[in-house]
């Protein structure tokens, strides 16, 4: 839109307001009849342990908001991982209709399509604000829906971890060679990048990580950010806490709905589910920012761990390896390449804007 268009549109808007005022006395369309007596009892399966801080809490808040907004029409019972089904069966359970909805993160479903990872986070990808811009306003959501429709699902963003931490290390990382032989718990694409740097990505479930790090089974681990990491107690056994989480710069959490169930709802309930998902997105981001800030200070106060930043040289090398990993990923199939192209071109442009906005502001 240029100046001429803007002036023209503003004029039309003013005219529209006058006309609306003039129409006030005209006969209005009859209200859509809504059958409020129709109730929906839904199950929400999640990839998080029951009542998991922030992520699990947000699922319960979502259920509460939907119940309130729908005047009690939709009741959602939230199930933590393992309560009804294991964490990694959420996608299939919602796809088959065994549960009406689920909450997780799209990179867990890389086995269904490599493209799914772009709707959660990829190393050196975009931060929370930029992911929202791509998903809501840059074509990301349309691609996400296109992918999930193949599995009978509809997805909406429902949170973001914000920039994670780089992880807990028992040896210094001064240059890229320090990753050689390093055994680190780091899942997904981050693990593939580590392998290119000569390290080994080790799989450990959440409850094994602490003892594995303590006993030297692994030399390092990433988890989330200061809040969750503090709760896990890593600051008691690791020497160094490195920033930033280059491997997860803004992991999107998702609400997924069984498409048949979702489409069977009257329009106002669909709007409620989408709107409550957006509120959940905002709540999760805000909670992460507030809590990570508070717990980073707690970790600092305990003085048992040294908090460091990876050097620009180390990050530049990791970025080069990431480009290789993402190129290999995009080559896997046509749809993944389409998502990769959309993601990377949006990321490039928004980074340019950020250099004049967020980045310039933070550097003041």
Rg over CA atoms, the chain: 23
**Structure tokens belonging to residue 331:** 């080559």
Residues 126, 265: Cα–Cα separation, whole Å: 34
Minimum CB distance to Ca ion, residue 363 (Å): 26
Q: Least distance to Ca ion from the beta carbon of 187, Å? A: 7
**Pairing state of beta strands 40-46 and 74-79?**
parallel
State which residue, 138 or 157, has the beta carbon closest to Ca ion: 157
The Cα–Cα gap between 353 and 247 comes to 22
Which residues in 12-41 contact Ca ion (CB under 5 A)?
none
The Cβ of residue 18 has, within 10 Å, a number of other Cβ atoms equal to 9
Extract the tokens encoding 158.
């429902």
Q: Which is nearer to Ca ion, 164 or 204 (CB)?
A: 164
- Contact track, Ca ion, 221-260, x by CB under 5 A: -x-------------------------x------------
105 or 173, CB closer to Ca ion? 105
Q: At its nearest, how many Å lie between Ca ion and the CB of residue 224?
A: 5
CA nearest to 246, candidates 352, 317, 330 = 317
CB of 41 to Ca ion, least distance (A): 34
With respect to Ca ion, which residue has the nearer C-beta, 57 or 261? Answer: 57
Which residues in the 311-330 window bind Ca ion by CB under 5 A?
A: none
Which residues within the stretch 142-201 sit at the binding site for Ca ion (CB under 5 A)? 164
Here's the x/- map for Ca ion, 257-286, by CB under 5 A: it reads as: ------------------------------
Distance CA 340, CA 308 (A): 32
Query: In terms of CB distance, is 115 or 232 closer to Ca ion?
Result: 232
CB 204, min distance to Ca ion, A: 12
Smaller CB distance to Ca ion: residue 76 or 253?
A: 253
In 3D space, the residue among 296, 231, 293, 287 whose CA is nearest the CA of residue 59 turns out to be 287
146: Cα separation from own chain's centroid? 18
| Binding footprint of Ca ion, residue count (CB under 5 A) | 3
Which residue from 101, 59, 67 is spatially nearest to 281, judged by alpha carbons? 59
> Please, what is the end-to-end C-alpha distance for the chain in angstroms?
31
Looking at the Cβ atoms of 120 and 347, the one nearer to Ca ion is 120
157: helix, strand or coil: strand
- Of the listed pieces 107-115, 140-148, 220-228, 290-298, which binds Ca ion according to CB under 5 A? 220-228
Q: Footprint of Ca ion on residues 75-104 (CB under 5 A)?
A: none
What is the 8-class DSSP label of residue 33?
Answer: P
Minimum distance, C-beta of residue 199 to Ca ion, in the bound complex (Å) = 16
**CB count, 10 Å around CB of 300?**
13
Which residues of the shown chain bind Ca ion in the complex (CB under 5 A)?
A: 164, 222, 248
């Amino acid at each position: 839109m240029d100046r001429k268009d803007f002036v023209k549109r503003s004029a039309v808007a003013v005219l529209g307001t006058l006309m609306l005022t003039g129409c006030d006395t005209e006969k209005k369309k009859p209200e859509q009849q809504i059958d409020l007596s129709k109730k929906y009892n839904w199950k929400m399966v999640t990839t998080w342990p029951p009542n998991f801080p922030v992520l699990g809490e947000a699922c319960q808040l979502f259920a509460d908001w939907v119940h309130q907004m729908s005047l009690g029409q939709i009741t959602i019972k939230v199930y933590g991982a393992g309560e009804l089904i294991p964490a990694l069966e959420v996608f299939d359970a919602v796809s088959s209709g065994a549960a009406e909805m689920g909450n997780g993160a799209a990179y867990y479903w890389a086995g269904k399509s490599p493209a799914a990872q772009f709707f959660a986070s990829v190393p050196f990808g975009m931060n929370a604000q930029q992911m929202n811009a791509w998903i809501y306003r840059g074509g990301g959501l349309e691609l996400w829906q296109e992918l999930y429709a193949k599995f009978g699902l509809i997805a909406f963003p429902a949170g973001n971890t914000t920039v994670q931490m780089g992880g807990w290390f028992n040896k210094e990382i001064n240059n890229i060679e320090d990753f050689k032989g390093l055994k680190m718990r780091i899942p997904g694409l981050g693990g593939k990048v580590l392998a290119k740097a000569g390290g080994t990505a080790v799989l450990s479930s959440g409850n094994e990580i602490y003892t594995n790090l303590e006993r030297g089974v692994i030399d390092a681990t990433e988890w989330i950010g200061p809040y969750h990491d503090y709760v896990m107690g890593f600051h008691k056994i690791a020497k160094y806490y490195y920033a930033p989480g280059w491997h997860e710069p803004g992991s999107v959490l998702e609400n997924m709905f069984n498409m048949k169930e979702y489409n069977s709802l009257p329009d106002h309930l669909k709007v409620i589910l989408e709107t409550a998902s957006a509120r959940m997105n905002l709540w999760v981001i805000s909670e992460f920012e507030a809590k990570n800030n508070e717990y980073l200070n707690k970790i600092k106060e305990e003085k048992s761990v040294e908090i460091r930043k990876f050097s620009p040289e180390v990050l530049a090398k990791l970025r080069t390896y990431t480009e290789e990993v993402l190129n290999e990923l995009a080559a896997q199939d046509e749809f993944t390449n389409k998502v990769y192209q959309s993601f990377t071109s949006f990321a490039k442009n928004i980074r340019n804007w950020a250099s004049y906005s967020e980045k310039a502001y933070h550097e003041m």
